[in-house]
A and B are shown apart, each in its own frame.
Chain A
Amino acid sequence: MESFFARFKNPLALIAIVLLQVIALAMQVQRPAKDADALSPSGAAESEEAAPDGHNVSLLRRWTVTAITPLETALQSSSARVRGAWDDYVDLRHTRQQNAALKDEVARLREEEASFAADAAQGRRLQKLLAFREQYALTNVAAEVIGTSGSDRSHVLYLNKGSDDGLKPDQPVITPDGVVGKIRDVFPHTSQLLLINDPSSGAGVVLATTRIRCILRGTETGQVQINDLTPDSRIKVGEPVITSGGDLVFPRGLPVGTVQSIALDPLHQPYTAITVKPAVDLNRLEEVLVITATSSTLPAAAAQDAAAAEATAQANQRAADLVAEKLPSLQPAVTPANGAGTAPVAGASGAKAAAGSPTATAPPPDDPESQVGGLPGIPNSGLPRSKPALHPDRFSPGAAPPAADMTPGAVAQSQNPVPSHNPAQDQNPPAQTGAGQQPDQQPDQQP
């Protein structure tokens, strides 16, 4: 017996080492499966590897990470200093042009921001009507990528922020460009970021154009795919993909990427493999934002901006309404269904007037006939000719017949005919000038 062990010492040692690890593997694989539902709200969409480890395994992983990440952090910060010194003091080509371009862009973005805030306010009102609740990013923590897993089969990054900075497992990680992944494991000063292209990763998404909900997964090759949809001709290459919020990890509406290719999935017939090009370059991440809290209401600063933008928009609308009330002749004209001409209207009554009056055929504003003065050959260079009144009275020009035609003692007409402003319009019978237009039809806006 002794000779047996002496003879097969090496293979026996190897078998023992492998067997121990197999047992350890079996224990680890079972442990997250038990706790997956409790720990991960998106458990159904993710495999066991996406769930945090059991206590003992987490301890082992913490030791490993604690041994390696201080070195990574030190190297990262020293390289950042060198790079910063180079960028700040040496490599300053084109800085002035970039600065001017950025200033222009900031001004443009500020204008856009006010417009978007008004649109967002309208969207929230509509969502309230539809009883939707949207999650907004309330607070976030900026973190720096300090390392990778070092394996092409494990798409994991390490961040320089941990539980001491308020990070917790399952918190979403984004950049201004879109979704990056979620926090998988958290240590005091470091955290493990699971990228969306890891095979164990999953996210609830919606195709922005077709509004089809589906699950996004990573693949072994580091791609991002949707493979739970059957072929659908409505899905096109280039369609944006955004988060649906259904996984309770990522807030709704964050950009994920665009559809890159659509093909039948050879392994899972009859489903398709829709490859998504991530909005973020996952291989070149340096800084990320970890969303540490979400809310169904906007953050205070954003809410103030939105309220200010909404108030400005309402004030502009009120001013426009006042001008419209005081100057009814400048209200938008209507284009009749037959396209024969246009007429100034004021709501339903205006439509009726357009239907029954020859004044319905007013010329378009860029017509030279509708302008007074101006330079010959240059459109819109003169003043607009006054349009006929909507409610003419006896003082309106042309409303009363010439004195020569009047008969002393004759009964006054109850309805004054409204003369056409344009002599050419008199030739158009009412039937051709929007007679068929209904009062509830919306008038087309003149440009």
Chain B
Amino acid sequence: MAERSYTSREELDQYGFHPGVTVMAPMVCILLQAMLPRTLPWLLHLDLPLIATIFFAVSRRSPIAGAVTGTLIGLFQDGLTNHPFGVDGIAKGIIGYVAASLGFAVDIDNVINRVALVFTLSLFQSGLLYLIAHWLLGQASYRLLPVQELISAAANSVVAIPVFYVLDRFRIRD
């Protein structure tokens, strides 16, 4: 008996990106993330690099590529904070891996799926950061702030829709 997949042929399509887009898109996200909160402090609750990580991971549908992309973006983010290198690197590496794995199972071109994916992975990243701070760094004072995390996740989901729409324009079918 032939095995049946829950994903269609179209859903399994892998996309590639121009090297310039691969480098510049995350860079622009990190730059905006660093600059915009200067004038609009509430934008600190957004995580544009996370949205870029998820987008590239689900578009490429390669867990290793997703993990590497997430790790590089996360390490770059760590460089701008006062955290040790690796805090965001580990979190975003795992997010990239999970997002790419989920990309096999769901139709990521659907807006609702995208919103749900970003919302879930935002909360997942908060949990990962909490575990890293508690277990690896021994920061007992690090606390999860549920309301704040939910607001951040919701904001990321809303902002992800136009960002995904813009980045879709740069996709190249492999």
Contacts and interface: CB of A to CB of B under 8 A. Distances in A.
- Is this pair of chains taken from one and the same complex? yes
B34 interface: yes
Contact of A68 (B64, B75, B80, B136): B80
B82 A194 contact: yes
B34 A149 contact: yes
B41 interface: yes
A150 B79 contact: no
A147 B71 contact: no
Given A9-B64, A220-B143, A284 B86 contact: no
A194 B83 CA distance: 12
B86 A28 contact: yes
B37 A148 contact: yes
A28 B85 contact: yes
A284 B152 CA distance: 21
Interface stretch (B7-15, B89-97, B106-114): B89-97
Contacts of A68: 27, 30-31, 34, 76, 79-80
B41 A65 contact: no
Interface string A45-75: 0010110000001001101110110011001
Interface stretch (A19-27, A101-109, A238-246, A331-339): A19-27
Interface residues of B, number: 49
Nearest to B41: A283
A14 interface: yes
A156 B80 contact: yes
B38 A147 contact: yes
A210 interface: no
A152 interface: yes
Interface in B21-69: 27, 30-31, 33-35, 37-38, 41, 44-45, 49, 63-64, 67-68
Given A148-B34, A152-B45, A199-B141, A14 B94 contact: yes
Contacts of B145: 220-221
B82 to A, nearest CB: 5
A18 B90 contact: yes
Given A145-B38, A150-B37, A18 B81 contact: no
Contacts of B35: 72, 75-76, 147-148
A154 interface: yes
A13 interface: yes
A8 B101 CA distance: 13
B63 to A, nearest CB: 4
B127 interface: no
A221 B147 CA distance: 12
Contacts of B142: 199, 220
Interface string A252-284: 000000000000000000000000000000011
Given A68-B30, A75-B35, A50 B82 contact: yes
B154 to A, nearest CB: 15
A352 interface: no
B129 interface: yes
Nearest to B83: A154
B82 A200 contact: yes
B158 interface: no
Contacts of A146: 38
A149 B90 contact: no
Contacts of B30: 68, 150
A10 interface: yes
Interface in A102-161: 145-154, 156, 158
Nearest to A57: B85
Contacts of A63: 79
A198 interface: yes
B84 A25 contact: yes
Contacts of B77: 150-151
Contact of A22 (B38, B88, B136): B136
Contacts of B143: 220
Instruction: Output the residue of B38, B41, B87, B143 with the most chain A CB within 10 A.
Output: B38
Of all A-B residue pairs in the complex, the 10 with the closest CB atoms, nearest first, are A64-B79, A154-B81, A150-B33, A283-B41, A21-B86, A28-B84, A152-B44, A10-B63, A25-B86, A150-B34
Given A151-B80, A156-B82, A221-B148, 19 more contacts: A13-B63, A18-B94, A22-B86, A22-B136, A25-B132, A28-B85, A49-B83, A64-B80, A68-B31, A68-B76, A72-B34, A75-B31, A147-B38, A150-B34, A150-B37, A150-B81, A151-B83, A153-B83, A220-B141
